[in-house]
């Protein structure tokens, strides 16, 4: 875990010089303290999600910081921080925007503002530095062309098919919750009125077409997902990892929702300086480009993306009917009610 610290004489100096060479505007004192800890432990930040893999690789090669992750939903991340407290195992997490204020209210976060703080829009960060959005995502469809003859381009199209539709763990996972909101918006609803979405998915359940599995890369590769509803960055990433020609990825033409994920640092983090260095890197130019390589749209619009990275993303025309969350407070309240509403108004019809 900390073997690099034990390197003697000139070798240790070389590592230090290499790290500082990559530091950009990151404070040298922060780098030094993080290197003394030698490790960062994350939750909900697996290699396959939004290209975290390259960020973990960079932290290792540039600063000598080792990394471990346990994949979790947003709700599970918050519960883990709250339950472990002084016996914490995790340092940093990545949770859906809708969970950000919940996490802060529980008193389980510690604040840290990276040096690029002023480049992050005000709406996408906590004024005290307890959380900040690193990237945005828009709810998309991923379609297995081997299983679906007529590709659905809208929510309306989904109801006309014979294939099963996979949404994931509604009530727990931010991705699945936002899929519900996207369906609501496309069918005349809003953050305040998600009834159209519940009715929509109830119709799928009554048809026996609502799948209960998760739209994970493993399930997609095995052919167990005909149509998955997920963030665009995940859908594009999974498509290219498995077989670009096997899947179609699109934003539903009749409406979708744009949101994002925020960085949180555990108040009880066993490696707090490494966690802060990680946040610094996430919001640096290099970290933002890493996220874009994972098909996520960086929150910092001042970062210039390389041409090959731009080519990974969907064209802007796909997003013409996607809208950001307009009433965050109301959506947060409805998101809390989703587990019960999903059970009583959708899963009750599951066949």
Spell 26-40 as b/e; 16+ CB within 10 A means b.
beeebbebbbebbbb
Residue 6 has pLDDT above 50, yes or no: no
Task: Give the per-residue pLDDT at 16.
Answer: 38
Q: What is the pLDDT of residues 122-177, one digit of tens each?
A: 989 999 999 999 998 999 999 999 999 999 999 999 999 999 999 999 998 889 99
Same domain for 31 and 111, yes or no, is yes
The CATH number covering residue 60 comes to: 3.40.190.10
Same domain for 327 and 240, yes or no, is yes
Same domain for 332 and 189, yes or no, is yes
Same domain for 271 and 254, yes or no, is no
Task: Give the per-residue pLDDT at 2.
Answer: 25
Same domain for 145 and 63, yes or no, is no
Same domain for 279 and 337, yes or no, is no
Q: What is the pLDDT of residues 197-238, one digit of tens each?
A: 999 999 999 999 999 899 999 999 999 999 999 999 889 989
Task: Give the per-residue pLDDT at 212.
Answer: 84
Mean pLDDT, rounded, of the chain: 91
Same domain for 300 and 330, yes or no, is no
Q: Are 264 and 95 in contact (CB under 8 A)?
A: yes
Same domain for 250 and 275, yes or no, is no
Given the structure tokens 């899947």, which residue do they identify?
247
**Predicted TM-score (pTM) of this structure:** 0.72
Same domain for 132 and 244, yes or no, is no
Residue ranges making up the domain that contains 85: 3-136+264-309
Q: For the ranges 10-14, 22-26, 31-35, which has the lowest average pLDDT?
A: 10-14
119 CB burial (10 A radius; 0-12, 13-18, 19+): middle
Q: What whole-number percentage of the chain has pLDDT above 70?
A: 93
Total domain count for the chain?
2
Same domain for 281 and 295, yes or no, is yes
Q: What is the pLDDT of residues 272-307, one digit of tens each?
A: 999 999 999 999 999 999 999 989 989 998 999 999
Same domain for 217 and 289, yes or no, is no
Residue 315 has pLDDT above 90, yes or no: no
Cβ atoms within 10 Å of 73's Cβ, excluding its own: 22
Same domain for 189 and 330, yes or no, is yes
Give residue 24's pLDDT band: very low, low, confident or very high (50, 70, 90). low
């Amino acid at each position: 875990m900390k073997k690099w610290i034990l390197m003697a004489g000139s070798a240790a100096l070389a590592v230090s010089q290499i790290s500082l060479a990559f530091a950009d505007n990151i404070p040298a004192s922060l780098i030094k303290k993080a290197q003394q800890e030698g490790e960062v432990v994350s939750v909900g930040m697996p290699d396959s999600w939004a290209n975290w893999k390259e960020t973990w690789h960079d932290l290792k090669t540039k600063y000598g910081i080792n990394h471990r992750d346990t994949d979790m939903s947003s709700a599970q991340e918050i519960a883990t921080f709250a339950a472990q407290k002084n016996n914490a195992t995790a340092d940093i997490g990545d949770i859906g925007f809708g969970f950000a204020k919940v996490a802060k209210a529980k008193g389980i976060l510690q604040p840290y503002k990276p040096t690029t703080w002023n480049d992050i829009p005000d709406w996408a960060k906590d004024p005290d530095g307890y959380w900040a959005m690193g990237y945005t995502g828009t709810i998309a469809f991923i379609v297995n062309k081997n299983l679906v003859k007529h590709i659905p381009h809208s929510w309306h199209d989904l109801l006309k098919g014979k294939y099963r539709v996979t949404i994931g763990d509604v009530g727990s996972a931010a991705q699945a919750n936002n899929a519900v909101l996207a369906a609501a918006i496309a069918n005349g609803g809003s953050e305040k009125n998600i009834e159209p979405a519940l009715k929509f998915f109830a119709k799928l359940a009554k048809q026996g077409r609502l799948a209960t599995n998760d739209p994970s890369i493993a399930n997609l590769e095995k052919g167990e997902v005909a149509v998955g509803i997920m963030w665009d960055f995940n859908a594009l990433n999974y498509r290219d990892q498995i077989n670009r020609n096997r899947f179609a990825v699109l934003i539903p033409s009749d409406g979708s929702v744009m949101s994002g994920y925020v960085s949180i640092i555990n108040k009880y983090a066993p490696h707090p300086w490494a966690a802060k260095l990680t946040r610094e890197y996430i919001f640096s130019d290099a970290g933002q480009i890493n996220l874009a390589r994972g098909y996520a749209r960086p929150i910092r619009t001042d970062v210039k993306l390389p041409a090959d990275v731009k080519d990974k993303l969907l064209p802007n025309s796909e997003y013409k009917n996607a809208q950001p969350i307009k009433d965050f407070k109301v959506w947060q309240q409805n998101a809390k009610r989703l587990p019960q509403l999903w059970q009583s108004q959708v899963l009750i019809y599951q066949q």
